[in-house]
Structure 1
């Protein structure tokens, strides 16, 4: 299975957009695998991470900051391009411009005045980056981890929850119940992950499904809910093959045992 060449540049040009400092775009230079793929390699059983103090980490996929200590200042930094709220949204809010992350409290992506679907997706990406940085300001070092080995897996579909799959159109009412406790790969057997080339892409995977393609990145690790267990923040952007929409979402994932499907603590859109 391969990604359609005409559709891929639209998704990856969106993912390259930044808004704090001029950063180089990640190049989509990884060669495509042949259409006839063999069986995916089985992920090795993870070795338990020893109980110790595991520091909060910012991973290369986040890009806008390089370490947790930078998050607080980055939240207050003005964007290169401010946004306006739509006239009929949040009428009680006097400040109608969004200039920095601290301005988006109580604001939904659909409240922002944009001209196109593409611009909506750019705003959504910015909002996700803001939420991750806000989470980093209160994150704590972890006592133990059952997620750290996830960052090294070349094919994590067997441990990622099924609810991480993209949704286009109206969601089926019983879908969440059917996905409970299942992995992404279990609900989509043709799911395939391919590591991207380059040092900056060490925490980035290209994802292809039966009718979708996109990107999965690891953005940060730390204890984000105060239970002592290490959590990992993932960014997922997927598009339907031949379509123009992109389902963008962020997830805070955790696991309290060495093996099994991860649990979603937070799902941001």
Structure 2
């Protein structure tokens, strides 16, 4: 009886040890990290540490922000994120949309810097096509009116919300989705990694929105995940 218990314990220990020795999935980064717009030379990121360094690195130019009567210089993502959290905004109010766009980019860098290795992944090949849009949440859709906001509440997917009519694939990580109302959305896969610490690999996308023949533009970033190989994508974070 003692030998049986000992053998059972050894089998359990062996199984646990094998599970703990399963290789982790390191965070991965594409070349499309937007750093070319901030530094003289774009940063080639291969690790989360590279993006942490990009956050602290000074830009090749500076901008001005203010809070009450105080005006300060901002010249890095680290300073922009810090000052924004303290209530600072563009010193020139006409430039606030530009600061908002920079804030979104900086938050993508912060997310990539925080990505950890994953234990498992259900992301699959991530082909940017209509099938992908049908599996992603409606928050990825272009929302520019009150009517859009009302439809968003009832929609079940990006495709269902936008009624996408065509997809132009630019490369493996980028595509332009055009909808029936003239909306154009350029989506970029920026990185993969564990965002929320649950051990499951998540994915970071950057979205540039415009309207054909119009002046509207906006940018957003999304962290999505899949909790099983049969599941649709779940939205974890949006900026």
TM-score, normalised relative to structure 1: 0.68
Q: 1:213·1:238 contact (CA, 8 Å) conserved in 2?
A: yes
SS across alignment from 1:71: helix
SS across alignment from 1:149: coil
Counterpart in 2 of 1:107?
Answer: 84
The runs of 5 or more residues in structure 2 that have no matched partner are 1-21, 36-42
Q: Distance in 2 between matches of 1:243 and 1:78?
A: 34
Q: Distance in 2 between matches of 1:160 and 1:226?
A: 21
How many equivalent pairs are there?
205
SS across alignment from 2:100: helix
Q: 1:215·1:238 contact (CA, 8 Å) conserved in 2?
A: yes
Name the larger-Rg structure. Answer: 2
Q: Which has the higher strand share?
A: 2
1:85 to 50, 55, 65: 65
State how 1:139-154 maps to structure 2 within 5 Å: 139-150=115-126, 152-154=127-129
The runs of 5 or more residues in structure 1 that have no matched partner are 1-50
Matched, 1:184 2:158: yes
Counterpart in 2 of 1:216?
Answer: 187
SS across alignment from 1:251: strand
Q: Distance in 2 between matches of 1:124 and 1:191?
A: 29
The RMSD of aligned alpha carbons is 2.6
1:57 to 24, 28, 34: 28
Question: CA distance change for structure 1 residues 124 and 173 in 2, over 3 Å: closer, same or farther?
Answer: closer
State how 1:1-269 maps to structure 2 within 5 Å: 52-64=23-35, 65=43, 66-68=45-47, 69-86=49-66, 90-91=67-68, 96-104=72-80, 105-107=82-84, 111-114=89-92, 116=94, 120-150=96-126, 152-155=127-130, 156-170=132-146, 174-179=150-155, 182-196=156-170, 201-210=171-180, 211-268=182-239
Q: Which has the higher helix share?
A: 2
TM-score, normalised relative to structure 2: 0.75
Moved more, 217-226 or 136-145: 136-145
SS across alignment from 2:125: helix
Q: Relative contact order (alpha carbons < 8 A, sep ≥ 6): 1 or 2 greater? A: 1
Q: Distance in 2 between matches of 1:190 and 1:84?
A: 39
SS across alignment from 2:164: coil
Question: CA distance change for structure 1 residues 83 and 223 in 2, over 3 Å: closer, same or farther?
Answer: same
Q: Distance in 2 between matches of 1:202 and 1:120?
A: 33
